[in-house]
Amino acid sequence: MMADHAAGKPADEGVRGRFERIYQTLRTRICMLDYAPGSRLREEDLAGEFGVSRTPLRRVLVKLEAEGLLRSVHGVGTIVTDIDVDELAQVYELRIELAELVGKLSPVIVDAALIARFRDIRARCDRMVAEGDPREFSRINMEFFHLFTTLTTNEPLREISERLYYQTARIWLKTASRLEGFDELLQNEFVTFQREVADITEAVEHGDLTAAGYVRRAHIAMSFSRIRQASGAEAG
């Protein structure tokens, strides 16, 4: 099991904060494949881990089920859903369109602090590629997604983009891990992601958020194409 700093329990977090902490921790574990597809999540174990009753925990599980990451099976319990490339095709289609909109709708004002955040994650991405750590790749990928969506103040756009992102976040690691040459495939994915982060960072540095959206759109489209190819190789 991964060590989640989010599993720590701040004394003054409140009901809403507690819900978000548990929700984000479980969602991250699912997307990092710490909970593999088909795994059963035991309410009593999770309630004990997070120090809550089963009632607030169930609210978190219901939200994750609504987002397609979990399913409730009568007589069995709560199960982590599997993921299928073909079933996610339309999700990717929408993600591709929304990425471009992030750079166009209600754009933020680019300031030094925002540029610094992009430069920081670019530097971390460069280190990740050098070290070849799949878990760090997944973590940075998630963080970069959230940073990218801060380029717009359009809340509905950010909300739907987040939901769709997490529906697809597991698929590359799950698909590629089953193939021969996994390490090489993953290293290529590292380098491609590194290039995406660098190009978007440069666009932000120049204050061109429209260009940042175009870059993100192109990389999501190429990522899905690579996933489909990998999935086809797996099936073959």
Q: What is the pLDDT along the chain (236 residues), one digit of tens a residue?
A: 444 444 555 556 688 899 999 999 999 999 999 999 999 999 999 999 999 999 999 999 999 999 999 999 988 899 999 988 888 999 999 999 999 999 999 999 999 999 999 999 999 999 999 998 888 999 999 999 999 999 999 999 999 999 999 999 988 777 766 666 667 878 888 999 999 999 999 999 999 999 999 999 999 999 999 888 877 765 55
pLDDT of residue 2: 41
Phi/psi of residue 78, each to 5°? -95, 125
- Tokens found for residue 214: 């175009």
Per domain, the residue ranges of the chain are 5-80, 86-235
pLDDT for res 25 = 96
Q: Please, are residues 115 and 204 in contact by the beta-carbon 8 Å criterion?
A: yes
Say which CATH topology domain 86-235 has.
Answer: Four Helix Bundle (Hemerythrin (Met), subunit A) (1.20.120)
d(CA 107, CA 87): 32
**Tell me: domain 5-80, CATH 3.30.300.30, correct?**
no
At 58, list the tokens: 């169930």
Exposed / middle / buried, residue 101 (Cβ in 10 Å: 0-12, 13-18, 19+): middle
Sign of the torsion angle spanned by Cα atoms 159, 160, 166, 172 = negative
- 3-class DSSP state for residue 41? strand
Angle at 143 between CA 230 and CA 112, to 5 degrees: 130
* Alpha carbons 137 and 128: distance in angstroms, whole number: 6
pTM: predicted TM-score of the whole model, two decimal places? 0.88
CA distance 152 to 95: 15
Provide the sign of the torsion angle of the four alpha carbons 132, 91, 104, 226, taken in this order: positive
Domains 5-80 and 86-235 share a fold: no
Orientation angle between helical segments 182-205 and 134-149, nearest 10 degrees: 30
CB contact set of 67 (below 8 Å; sequence gap of 6+) = 27, 163, 166, 167
Q: What type of residue sits at position 230?
A: A
In the chain, where does DSSP find H-type helix? 14-31, 43-50, 54-66, 89-102, 112-131, 134-149, 155-168, 171-176, 182-205, 209-235
Instruction: Look at residue 3 in the predicted model and tell me its pLDDT.
Output: 41
